[in-house]
A and B are shown apart, each in its own frame.
Chain A
Amino acid sequence: MSADMNAAVDPVEVNLATRLGSLALHGPVLTASGCAASGKELSQFFDLRLLGAVVTKSIMVQPRSGRPTPRMAETPSGMLNSIGLQGPGIEAFIAKDLAWLVEHGVRSIVSIAGTNTSDYARLARRLSSEPGVAALEVNISCPNVESRGEVFACDPRAAAAVVAAVRAETARDIPVIVKLSPDVTDIVEIAGRVIEAGADGLALINTLLGMVIDTTTLRPALAGITGGLSGPAIRPVAVRAVYQVHAAFPDTPILGMGGIRTGEDALQFIAAGASAVSVGTAIFNDASAPARVHRELREALAARGYRSLAEVVGIAHVTSVGRDDALAAPVPPAQEVVVTAAPAAVDDSDIGALIDEVRAAPEVPANDSETTREVHL
């Protein structure tokens, strides 16, 4: 496997199957919430069944009008949006949107949003009794009305409370994936708190808060004044978040997103530790981007000699701390790997490669030692 890194394999031989906790996905590419509505509109451009799942636009208990227009401003390699979670409310969503997805055999991850903990709990309970919900994605980048509008995702206590409530109300076999905001001082801390509270997986990242001034009117370009920045502009921030969180919690599956436009972009997230990826803003540029990214990721893995996606998940951590990601064990300091950690899962032919790899590995950069420390937490 990694031994024949240089020998390309036939793309059709690459196994793209992956998992998000208990949820098995036949493909690692999903749509990002709010960038694919409920799938139907995109179905004219490609077969949605190719995707691991469609992640639907965050749904709330009641119908919601969202914010006034203008809701969008284009920015370098991205955009700001301030949609304000416009949606039909959970009942209409289930009756129309979810029904459509089920009828068309599309796997659905339903994103939920609320303004207080009990809304989230109610949505989780309601969706648990519906067929066709493969997982819940909990969008906690919403203002908490019970805490003067502070965003749940920025308040570890409130975030944990929402996750605990959702986990308690969600059927056992439905994984709860919690979507985090990058607008926090320490995303690893929030990740830890929501994992403790019962998150089965994490979705990283939501948009970054931004603002554009219209230079003609000299006023904010968006009616909502601020908006969420998305698109390739935020990709390095997203890859960093996935890398840090995976280093700290290697057993928690990550759905990575933020500016993925190509298969190689997706590969960065996988290598950083994501088990699956969502494509968002790129859809606005290319309506069939998720299908294209799926194909390009397959080709990118094949060209590098990988026969499965699984062996690449988190591989970026290997050179810095000297481990093969197939090892679930905590990571010992680099040089020890050769001596103590030759794992049962790696056959003889790989040990040689592993040793070569470790010898070839550059000095562990200073800031990575922090990452290593977190692994042992």
Chain B
Amino acid sequence: MAVQVDGEVVAMRRVGAYHHMSFTAPGIPEQTRPGHFVALSVGGPTSSTLLRRAFSVHRVNERGLYGGTVDIIFAAHGVGTTWMASLERGAALNIVGPLGKPFALPREPVGCVLVGGGYGAAPLAMLAEQLRARGCRVDIILGAATVDRLFGVLDARRSASSVTVTTDDGSSGIAGRVTDVLPNLLERTGADVVYACGPMGMLSAISAVCEPLGVHTQCAVEESMACGVGVCMTCVLPVIGDDGVTRMLRSCVDGPVFRGERVRWSDVGTMPPDVLGAPQAVTP
């Protein structure tokens, strides 16, 4: 059950193009599983920026020096994240979490490939550790546009059997996209499951690689959100249900993790006529 709590920044540091923030969030760490996210209010209590910002949980520490803490990795992007980047140790925060449906973990010790794009690598460290604890083989691919936007390479090396890095410009690892190296890795490791977090285009491409191979995918999507708790209906995308019917599901409560083959990636941002309740073309 999500809680809304006051917390305090306990550490801030730069990691390449990103900011790594740790804050206290009583009641959240013990409930958080990999793939969960938290929603932060930005700009202080009288801020004119009302909407919360969503961030994947990178790590939690249930019993740290300051009590339970949560770590996130974020890019300073618009007003909210720029404000967050200006915070110093001791700054007050208001946090809601843990939110969303986390990654589903396999019951059997199967092979898993984890793919992170940019800050999408943030939730993978915790995931890798939990998969390893279940006896799963873990291989990790990390991709980004440039080397400063790669995140989690060192962490990955500690917990994975192999780590492959790609950058669009070749500034680190292999020049190219994560999907350039994924098929090969799947073949080599015989992995049954791919876990992915990153930009929508990356998730879509990963699903396209995995589906024909019968590899199960767990994709954490990033849709624009207003409430983060399921009450506003802004964060929807077309997802095919068990009954074969496509519905506009809320990524904040029905996701952010979806089975890749269930998301109609190429229809995101449109309203296909076969979605439940979609407006029908009027026959002349």
Contacts and interface: CB of A to CB of B under 8 A. Distances in A.
Interface of A: 34-37, 41-42, 44-45, 57, 62-72, 74, 76-79, 81, 83, 86-87, 89, 223, 231-232, 281-288
B277 A288 contact: no
A3 B33 CA distance: 57
A242 to B, nearest CB: 22
A68 B224 contact: no
Contacts of A62: 277
B96 A287 contact: yes
Given A72-B224, A284-B227, A285-B41, A81 B248 contact: no
B4 A65 contact: no
7 contacts: A35-B232, A69-B235, A71-B224, A71-B236, A74-B49, A284-B228, A287-B96
B281 interface: no
Contacts, number: 114
Given A34-B232, A62-B277, A69 B51 contact: no
Given A35-B232, A44-B2, A69-B268, A64 B277 contact: yes
B102 to A, nearest CB: 16
B126 to A, nearest CB: 23
B269 A70 contact: yes
A284 B236 contact: no
Contacts of A70: 224, 234, 269
A170 to B, nearest CB: 25
Given A65-B275, A65-B277, A86-B277, A284 B226 contact: yes
A144 B269 CA distance: 26
Contact of B231 (A37, A68, A69, A285): A37
Contacts of A89: 277
A83 B233 CA distance: 7
A57 B232 CA distance: 9
10 smallest A-B Cβ distances: which pairs? A63-B277, A72-B234, A41-B230, A65-B277, A64-B277, A284-B227, A77-B48, A285-B50, A65-B278, A37-B231
B229 A74 contact: no
B223 interface: yes
B278 to A, nearest CB: 4
Interface size class for chain B?
Answer: 35 or more
Most chain B CB within a 10 A radius of its CB, from A37, A76, A231, A281:
A37
A62 B232 CA distance: 19
A81 B226 contact: yes
A69 B229 contact: no
The majority secondary structure among interface residues of chain B is: loop
Contact of B50 (A36, A41, A65, A77): A77
B51 A285 contact: yes
A41 B253 contact: yes
B270 interface: yes
Interface in B226-275: 226-237, 247-248, 253, 268-271, 275
B1 interface: yes
B216 interface: no
A287 B268 CA distance: 27
Contact of B234 (A76, A81, A283): A81
Contacts of B275: 65
Contacts of A67: 271
Contacts of B279: 65
B42 to A, nearest CB: 10
A95 to B, nearest CB: 16
A35 B226 CA distance: 10
Interface string B183-225: 0000000000000000000000000000000000000000110
A376 to B, nearest CB: 41
A36 B276 contact: no
